[in-house]
Structure 1
Amino acid sequence: MTKILVTGSLGQVGSDLVIKLREDYGIDNVIATDLNENPDSKVCNEGIFEKLDVLDVDAYRALVEKYNVDTIFNLAGVLSAVGEAKPMVCWNVNVGGVINTLEIAKDHNCKVLNISSIAAFGPSTPLDNTPQVTIQRPTTMYGVAKVASELLCDYYHHKYGVDTRAVRFPGIISYAALPGGGTTDYAVEIYYEALKSGKYTSFIDKGTHMDMMYMPDAIGCLIQLMEADGDKLVNRNAYNVSAMSFDPEEIAASIKKYIPTFEMDYDVDPLRQGIAESWPNSLDISCAKEEWGFHTDYDLDAMSLDMLKNLSEKLNIPFEG
């Protein structure tokens, strides 16, 4: 990777990824892009930033040519709950953006990192230790679009030789960016509310397990995959990756280890609860480990402590830890 372009740079993952890539590859070698601009963000004001709509293929292509890009991290997309509220927007952005990325990569010999999701599975998928290769029959537009993106990456790799790589992300937890309309947002919101009010009302019901990953591990995962030897990659269209699986009671119990007075109750959102129940409880990540050395550093308690420490500084709320 010499010249790297990142779409969706102001999103939850993009915000952290751009900063890490600039540290590793040089501030002038990472081109951050997004549909909008945030002058208060380090992404925009501490390096190269260009406004880009990934559906504008001509503008997209012009940026790749302008900066002589050889690697694209395509993070632009509409998240799950928003996708159900606006299904055609979800399809257009999450599939159209991938097609444009792959077409440009084909013509300019770029490596592509695409983001798929645990949502690419569905209720007929094995729920526990979900295999790398298994039935994928999602019941949401977000999931349908993710399956399509996986197949498109496979097609462009086999048909045109494009170096496509992807991961199926679980829920991603971060203190740097606010939740953006995902089903797993409760696992971010709960830390904010634990510090601000000492209590949280979960929109996901008790006993609902979902795979999760802390942002530092998610960023490391993407860079690990893009730096891996392509000759060793078999399941390159979308690797299962995860760090932990928990339900709302377990994350609340983890927080109570550091804030003993924390309380949680429930007001279940039928839309997001239904989406959560269509996803697996846990993923088999053995292919990612074997093919490119995927690993993580944070378990639930380590993540909880780090989230609370960092958010206490961000929110200026005392936290003893």
Structure 2
Amino acid sequence: LGVGLADMLRKQYGTENVILSDIKKPPPNVYSSGPFVYADVLDYKHLRELIINNRITWLVHYSALLSAVGEANVALARKINITGLHNVLDLALEHCLRLFVPSTIGAFGPSSPRDPAPDLCVQRPRTIYGVSKVHGELMGEYLHHKYGLDFRCLRYPGVISVNTPPGGGTTDYAVQIFHDALSTGHHVCYLRPDTRLPMMHISDCHRATIEFMQSPECQLSLRTYNIAAMSFTPEEVAQEIRKHLPHLKVTYNPDSVRQTIADSWPIRFDDSNARRDWGWAPAFGLEELVADMLRSVREKRTDEGLPVR
């Protein structure tokens, strides 16, 4: 997520003015595309140093353990997703930063309205990932009301991108299926064929984030907004891919952890507040998404010297 967002921001604000960070060594193209620093969200002192030395004014906080991975390591998820967030909140307050923290469909639970899920409703998530995101939404809103922190948060649907390898999320199948369609022609799906979830193309996700961050505060009636583009099932995305690759075979082998998580999440997002307050509108529907992903994955595989069907 961060690399594509940084590229878009660098076009607007200048390469040197947007600094990427991670705790992992990035691929060479990241180093050559602009400033990159090592940053660990659990190291408060070093983060403060980075903020002061680089005169940071915006913080975009993407560090998190995702839904399925978080369930396998709750203690680590709590550390990164909650302690890490507290460090970032404190620093944003201390240095008057504008702070963006993504939330997720995972911030809803089985007792939330699912079709559609509105911005404000019962949220009782059943994963540590979801619990930590609700905690983030509430903390940000609280610090905004109490101290005027410019906190902004978008609830992302499943984000589909050629450059982000599946990272232990529940919606990852919708990225993997394109790679499988072009390599083996066979995808084993860990969700039932009729599991409908909100999804979004990565470029819509980046654009929503930037447009939201640039919106004047006076336009915002909320601090956390749903954003939506489309909702589809594994069967629907497979059918759309078959218009391009008729021989795609999908086997359904539901994984109980991920299926249970998916069944507790919204089927659709009501994002009418985002559309009304700051003009959100997606560019990609299912057809456009599938055509673009197949083209991008084909290119990527060809560049890496891998066979393509």
Q: Into which bin does the TM-score normalised by the smaller protein fall?
A: over 0.9
* 8 A contact 1:113–1:226 mirrored in 2: yes
**Identical pairs, percent:** 40
> What is residue 77 of structure 2 aligned with on the other side?
90
Alignment TM-score, normalising by the size of structure 1: 0.93
Spell out structure 1 runs of 4+ moving beyond 3 A. none
* 8 A contact 1:32–1:44 mirrored in 2: no
In the alignment, the residues of structure 1 paired with residue 125 and residue 244 of structure 2 have an alpha-carbon distance, to the nearest angstrom, of 37
Q: Map of 1:292-311 to 2, 5 A cutoff?
A: 292-311=278-297
For residue 182 of structure 2, give the secondary structure of its aligned residue in structure 1: helix
For residue 184 of structure 1, give the secondary structure of its aligned residue in structure 2: coil
Q: After superposition, what is the alpha-carbon deviation per residue over 1:287-312, rounded to whole angstroms, capped at 9, x for unaligned?
A: 11111111110001110000001110
In the alignment, the residues of structure 2 paired with residue 31 and residue 276 of structure 1 have an alpha-carbon distance, to the nearest angstrom, of 34
Q: Give the alignment partner of residue 69 of structure 1, picking from 53, 56, 62.
A: 56
* 8 A contact 1:19–1:43 mirrored in 2: no
For residue 172 of structure 2, give the secondary structure of its aligned residue in structure 1: helix
Tell me, yes or no, if structure 1 residue 17 matches structure 2 residue 17.
no
In the alignment, the residues of structure 1 paired with residue 25 and residue 11 of structure 2 have an alpha-carbon distance, to the nearest angstrom, of 21
Q: After superposition, what is the alpha-carbon deviation per residue over 1:209-250, rounded to whole angstroms, capped at 9, x for unaligned?
A: 1000000000001001001011111111x2111110011100
* 8 A contact 1:128–1:282 mirrored in 2: yes
Q: After superposition, what is the alpha-carbon deviation per residue over 1:265-290, rounded to whole angstroms, capped at 9, x for unaligned?
A: 11111111111011010010001111
* 8 A contact 2:183–2:308 mirrored in 1: no
CA RMSD of aligned residues (A): 1.1
In the alignment, the residues of structure 2 paired with residue 80 and residue 45 of structure 1 have an alpha-carbon distance, to the nearest angstrom, of 32
Tell me, yes or no, if structure 1 residue 32 matches structure 2 residue 20.
yes
Amino acid at match of 1:254: E
Q: After superposition, what is the alpha-carbon deviation per residue over 1:12-62, rounded to whole angstroms, capped at 9, x for unaligned?
A: x1121122211221110001111111242x333321111011110110010
> What is residue 226 of structure 1 aligned with on the other side?
213
Amino acid at match of 1:14: G
Deviation (angstroms), 1:318: 5.0
Q: Give the alignment partner of residue 170 of structure 2, picking from 183, 187, 201.
A: 183
> What is residue 284 of structure 1 aligned with on the other side?
270
In the alignment, the residues of structure 1 paired with residue 13 and residue 166 of structure 2 have an alpha-carbon distance, to the nearest angstrom, of 28
Q: Map of 1:165-180 to 2, 5 A cutoff?
A: 165-180=152-167
For residue 213 of structure 1, give the secondary structure of its aligned residue in structure 2: strand
Q: Give the alignment partner of residue 246 of structure 1, picking from 232, 239, 259.
A: 232
In the alignment, the residues of structure 2 paired with residue 190 and residue 24 of structure 1 have an alpha-carbon distance, to the nearest angstrom, of 33
